[in-house]
């Protein structure tokens, strides 16, 4: 066997390379911490991917958009089964096929492309870390509208309706529970409700969380590219976030089977997702838009065309943007030329915000001839609506 010998100049060169590599790594970490600090201090939005990891895969991925200047935020749920053309794998597959527990870079880059917005920061919670974190916080308070009696991979879970405080193991079981009869919207709401409860608990117990003995234990249970000092300052600022008013949004689309797997393909080849994020980022920095977003408006959607299922598909678009769609039906006439938004309570700013979703500017005061409806706005779709936008 041939032995490799190195002269002093070669060893010196290697040491220089190692030193430069270490310095570059340190500078990159410092730059990342500085950029987070700059976003906290200045007029910039933070995009943070929060991933709950189970069995080496993302059980939940929520994109947290946070604007420090006005302490407003939003959550976008990215389902693990989101179907995309993954160029790096040269195939159509679930987005979580890219997930590597050792390095989330490829996965987060694909999520970033999906939402058309950078994701410079991430926080990953493994299942064991989540359980320990919740227990460190003395449980998470939740409100359950209905009792839960279900069998999960962690055993039977039995919870009463109303206000409850769940410890780490119950949170893990509750988050993994999936009722096959419940709609996808309900599962998304549960994932987002759990994350909201976690953020709220950290904010409510901030003095305890930021103490010298507890914060290292909290941060140790997270895997993140945020430097400890910057993470401390982020948690400190989140104490002022009104978590109950977080805007929650989700990706909608069509489920199709590919090679035996059921994938969710986002509507309009992903352009709807990008529109959701763009509107969310604009709303975060716009006080009037966020004042509108703080209120829960109900919408009813009526199909005034002969295109079957148009109202139902339009309802999914508005649900993606976080609106509550109370009813979907046919209009009295199926030959309406222009789409109309009826503003029942003369809320002009809200009507314009709703109209922006489908680029409809035809807003009319009144109930649209439906006095029995409880919706704040009635949208009657006309022939100018192509399924996504109204023609100018």
Average pLDDT of adjacent 10-residue blocks, the chain of 392 residues = 55 60 48 64 83 93 91 93 91 95 93 94 94 95 85 76 90 75 77 92 93 95 91 89 87 91 92 90 71 71 95 89 88 94 89 90 90 90 94 82
Residues 6 or more apart whose Cβ sits within 8 Å of residue 268: 388
Residues 6 or more apart whose Cβ sits within 8 Å of residue 167: 134, 135, 139
Provide the phi-psi class of 265: left if phi over 0, else alpha when psi is between -120 and 50, else beta.
beta
Cα distances (angstroms) measured from residue 34 to each of 42, 48, 119: 12, 15, 15
For residue 322, the model assigns a pLDDT of 79
For residue 220, the model assigns a pLDDT of 94
Angle ∠(17,18,19) on CA atoms, nearest 5: 90
Coil, strand or helix at 304: coil
pTM over 0.75: yes
Helix (H) or strand (E) holding 126: strand 121-126
For residue 297, the model assigns a pLDDT of 82
Cα distances (angstroms) measured from residue 309 to each of 200, 329, 338, 379: 39, 9, 18, 15
For residue 22, the model assigns a pLDDT of 53
Give the whole-angstrom CA distance, residue 60 versus residue 53: 7
Tokens found for residue 137: 């916080």
Structural contact between residues 163 and 182, judged by C-beta atoms closer than 8 angstroms:
no
Helix (H) or strand (E) holding 129: helix 127-136
Nearest-Å Rg of the Cα atoms of the chain is 24
Give the whole-angstrom CA distance, residue 148 versus residue 132: 23
Q: Which of 380, 51, 53, 37 is nearest to 233 (CA)?
A: 37
Burial of 55 by CB count in 10 Å (0-12 exposed, 13-18 middle, 19+ buried)? exposed
Structural contact between residues 307 and 151, judged by C-beta atoms closer than 8 angstroms:
no
Q: Which of 235, 285, 247 is nearest to 69 (CA)?
A: 285
Tokens found for residue 177: 């529970």
Structural contact between residues 300 and 380, judged by C-beta atoms closer than 8 angstroms:
no
For residue 45, the model assigns a pLDDT of 85
């Amino acid at each position: 066997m041939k032995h490799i010998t190195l002269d002093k100049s070669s060893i010196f060169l290697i040491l220089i390379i190692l030193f430069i590599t270490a310095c570059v790594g340190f500078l990159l970490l410092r730059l990342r911490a500085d950029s987070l600090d700059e976003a906290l201090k200045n007029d910039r939005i933070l995009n943070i991917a929060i991933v709950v990891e189970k069995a080496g895969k993302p059980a939940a991925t929520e994109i947290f958009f946070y604007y420090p200047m006005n302490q407003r935020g939003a959550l976008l749920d990215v389902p693990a089964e989101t179907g995309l053309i993954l160029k790096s794998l040269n195939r159509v597959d679930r987005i979580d096929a890219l997930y590597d527990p050792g390095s989330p870079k490829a996965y987060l880059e694909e999520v970033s492309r999906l939402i058309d917005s950078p994701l410079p920061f991430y926080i990953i919670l493994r299942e064991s870390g989540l359980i320990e974190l919740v227990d460190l916080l003395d449980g998470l308070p939740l409100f359950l509208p209905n009792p839960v009696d279900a069998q999960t991979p962690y055993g039977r879970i039995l919870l009463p309706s109303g206000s409850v405080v769940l410890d780490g193991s119950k949170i893990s079981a509750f988050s993994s529970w999936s009722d096959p009869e419940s709609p996808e919207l309900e599962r998304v709401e549960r994932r987002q409700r759990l994350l909201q409860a976690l953020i709220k608990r950290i904010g409510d117990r901030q003095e305890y969380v930021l103490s010298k003995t507890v914060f290292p234990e909290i941060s140790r249970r997270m895997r993140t590219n945020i430097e400890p000092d910057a993470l401390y300052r982020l948690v400190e600022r989140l104490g002022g976030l009104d978590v109950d008013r977080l805007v929650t949004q989700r990706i909608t689309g069509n489920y199709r089977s590919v090679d035996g797997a059921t994938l969710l393909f986002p509507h309009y080849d992903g352009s709807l997702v990008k529109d959701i994020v763009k509107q969310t980022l604009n709303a975060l920095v716009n006080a009037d838009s966020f004042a509108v977003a703080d209120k829960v408006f109900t919408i009813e959607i009526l199909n005034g065309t002969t295109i079957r299922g148009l109202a139902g598909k339009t309802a999914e678009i508005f649900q993606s943007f976080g609106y509550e769609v109370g009813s979907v039906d046919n209009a009295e006439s199926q030959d309406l030329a222009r789409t109309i938004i009826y503003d029942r309570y003369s809320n002009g700013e809200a009507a314009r915000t709703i109209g922006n979703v489908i680029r409809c500017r035809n807003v009319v005061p009144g109930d649209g001839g439906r006095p029995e409806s409880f919706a704040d706005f009635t949208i009657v779709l006309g022939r100018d609506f192509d399924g996504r936008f109204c023609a100018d």
